[in-house]
């Protein structure tokens, strides 16, 4: 079976449209990163420090009552979220000392919701010093892995391909941040894990295409850059789509059936897998075309 027969789509020709779209998304992503740096985005407590609790009540409750109950006991700033399935309440509070907040939340509900007993399904308290360290470690991890990838690709292909692969990887990372920022999803350690995973994964597609381009460049040095790239992408298009599709299927199953804890994580993976496929065709390859053409023009004028 084949999804696509022989295709002949002018991918490189559409680069201007792609660049405009990608630039806009990337700019949003950069804004998102700046906001994360300032702590203005929806930061998970693993970065900002604070308390997160998941409570399971025995009867349905209203979120407004819960807020009032916390207010009465001096917890003014808490982010409350209800999970309808199973009378669960998520409470998130930023800052403050470890050990105090979770106790305060429990006493307030014990008093105010006396007829609705609850159990603490999970509670996470993180001191600010840990959050700071984690933020630093994360930056280093992201930088180290991106640098590792650039060096590897530059070594396996050449610098022009290395640049193309790096920009498209960066683009994927920025897109994931942009989407999470726009959806106001929590930026936490699991999100960063997803981002780094995609940073590694997105290269699979790029490498498949680059390999074919290099092969065709060796075979045919006379054809126009533009055409060699286009035909290479078309030749490997079906495998680009299928490799993404299988991983997408697995991630989608996590997204739909994996439960609350990894819901956002699998969403990030889904976005990443999708955008990685797009960028290997519409970002990585056109950039290499531009760089190659520029190099050729230079060689032409100097000769």
Partner 1 sequence: MPKGTGWRFSLIGMFILLSFLFLTPTLVAKLPGWWGGVFPQDKIHLGLDLQGGTHLVMEVDTQKAVEGSLELVATDLEDTLNTKNLRFKRIARSGADKVILVLYEKGTADAVQKILKDKYPSYEQSPTFDEGGFIALTLRMNEKDAQDRKDKAVQQALETIRNRIDQFGVSEPTIQREGINHIVVQLPGIKDPQRAIELIGRTARLDFKMVREDISPTSGVIPEDAELLKEKTVDPATGAVSEIPIVVQKKSMITGDLLTDAQVRIDSQFNQPYVGIEFNSLGAKLFDQVTAANVGKRFAIVLDNNIHSAPVIRERISGGSAQISGNFTEKTAADLAIVLRAGALPAPVKIIQNVTVGPSLGQDSISKGLYAGLIGVLLVVVFMAIYYKLSGLVADLGMVLNILYLMGALAALGATLTLPGIAAIVLLVGMSVDSNVIIFERIRDELKLGKMPKAALDAGYDKAFLTIMDSHVTTLITAAALFQFGTGPVKGFAVSLSLGIIINLFTSLVGTKVIMDFFLHKGTVKKMSI
Check binding of 231 to partner 1 (CB under 8 A).
Answer: no
Number of residues located near partner 1, criterion CB under 8 A? 70
Question: Which residue number, 35 or 145, has a Cβ lying nearer to partner 1?
Answer: 145
C-alpha 48/C-alpha 34 separation (Å) is 15
Three-state DSSP at 155 gives helix
Tell me the sheet residues that pair with 272. Answer: none
Span interacting with partner 1, options 15-23, 216-224, 243-251, 282-290, rule CB under 8 A? 243-251
Angle at 170 between CA 169 and CA 175, to 5 degrees: 100
Check binding of 8 to partner 1 (CB under 8 A).
Answer: no
Kindly tell me which residue out of 4, 183, 250, 297 binds partner 1, with binding defined by CB under 8 A. 250
C-alpha 291/C-alpha 297 separation (Å) is 10
Q: Which of residues 52-71 bind partner 1 (CB under 8 A)?
A: 54, 56
Distance from the first to the final alpha carbon of the chain: 50
* H-state helical runs in the chain: 15-38, 45-48, 63-72, 101-112, 128-156, 159-182, 189-219, 225-257, 263-279, 285-302
Q: Which of residues 101-140 bind partner 1 (CB under 8 A)?
A: 102-103, 119-127, 129-130, 134, 137-138, 140
Question: Which residue number, 176 or 236, has a Cβ lying nearer to partner 1?
Answer: 236
Angle at 40 between CA 34 and CA 44, to 5 degrees: 105
Which residues in this chain contact partner 1 in the complex, by CB under 8 A?
Answer: 1, 3, 54, 56, 98-99, 102-103, 119-127, 129-130, 134, 137-138, 140-142, 144-145, 148-149, 152-153, 156, 189-190, 193, 196-197, 199-201, 203-204, 207-208, 211, 235-236, 238-239, 242-243, 245-254, 256-259, 261-262, 265-266, 269
């Amino acid at each position: 079976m084949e999804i696509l027969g022989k295709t002949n789509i002018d991918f490189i020709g559409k680069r201007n449209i792609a660049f405009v779209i990608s630039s806009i998304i990337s700019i949003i992503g950069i804004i998102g990163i700046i906001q994360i740096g300032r702590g203005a985005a929806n930061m998970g407590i693993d970065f900002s420090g604070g308390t997160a609790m998941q409570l399971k009540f025995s009867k349905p409750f209203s979120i407004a009552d819960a807020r009032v109950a916390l207010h009465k006991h001096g917890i003014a700033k808490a982010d409350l979220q209800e999970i309808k399935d199973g009378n669960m309440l998520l409470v998130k509070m930023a800052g403050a000392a470890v050990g105090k907040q979770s106790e305060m939340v429990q006493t307030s509900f014990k008093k105010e919701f006396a007829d609705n007993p609850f159990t603490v399904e999970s509670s996470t308290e993180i001191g600010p010093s840990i959050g700071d360290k984690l933020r630093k470690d994360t930056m280093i991890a992201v930088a180290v892995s991106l640098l590792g990838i650039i060096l590897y690709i530059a070594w396996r292909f050449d610098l022009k391909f290395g640049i193309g692969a790096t920009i498209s990887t960066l683009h994927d990372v920025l897109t994931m941040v942009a989407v999470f920022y726009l959806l106001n999803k929590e930026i936490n350690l699991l999100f960063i894990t997803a981002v780094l995973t995609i940073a590694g994964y997105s290269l699979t597609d790029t490498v498949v295409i680059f390999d074919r381009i290099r092969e065709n460049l060796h075979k045919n040095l006379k054809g126009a850059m533009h055409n060699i790239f286009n035909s290479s992408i078309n030749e490997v298009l079906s495998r680009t789509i299928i490799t993404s599709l299988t991983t997408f299927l697995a991630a989608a199953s996590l997204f739909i059936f994996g439960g609350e804890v990894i819901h956002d994580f699998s969403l990030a993976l889904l976005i990443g897998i999708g955008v990685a496929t797009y960028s290997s065709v519409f970002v990585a390859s056109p950039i290499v075309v531009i760089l190659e053409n520029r190099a050729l023009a230079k060689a032409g004028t100097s000769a």
